[in-house]
Amino acid sequence: MKKLRLILLLVAGSFLAVSCNDDDDNNGGTTLPETDRTFVMNAADGGMFEVRSGELAVAKGDSTRTGMVMGSDSMSIKSFGQMMITDHTKANNELKSLADKKDVDVPTALSATKQKMIDSLTAATGPAFNMLYAKMMVASHKETVALFEKQAASGQDAELKSWATQKLPVLKHHLEMAEMMHEEVK
């Protein structure tokens, strides 16, 4: 009888141990800190905006070369827009991959603020479009550089921190080019 009780206690104890260790979050028990999660959301929103506004620039922007120099070539609104599509699509895909690893869903639609900006670009034509696009690219890249600098300096997740640090030189270059473009079209 003592043996039976002991066996039952061992079985019951094993069952409880398994039940207590059941981890339903499927991410190894780790969660991304809220500041890093916010970075992912804001970076994704900004990246989507850059791609969508770049698509509008390719469709509606001026193809006349401005004084912006990239190597020995000058650049037009359309070619700057294409560069935004290419560079930010690549970065968006990298961010999505990192977010997936960390069990974070990235937004698939623009925030209301960014959508209003796209709506304004959609409504503009000709020189007004070029001016608005250039102005938005300066503001957007200033915001993005600040976001990535903050993550690079104080992000808690090592992979996101490293990724933000790696992206900063390209983002700063985009900002410089956007500022030159803005000076040319105003």
Structure tokens at 25: 């979050």
Note down the domain range covering 40.
33-185
pTM of the model: 0.80
Structural domain contains residue 103: yes
**pLDDT tens, 65-103?**
554 444 434 578 999 999 999 999 999 999 999 999 999
Other CB atoms within 10 Å distance of the CB of residue 75: 21
Q: How many domains does the chain have?
A: 1
Measured CA angle at 50 (ends 148, 44), to 5 deg:
50
Whether 25 is covered by a domain: the verdict is: no
Determine, yes or no, domain membership for 7: no
3-class secondary structure, 15: helix
- Give the whole-angstrom CA distance, residue 5 versus residue 74: 85
Q: What is the DSSP secondary structure assignment for residue 72, as one 8-state letter? A: T
Task: Note whether residue 117 is domain-resident.
Answer: yes
Is 15 contained in some domain?
no
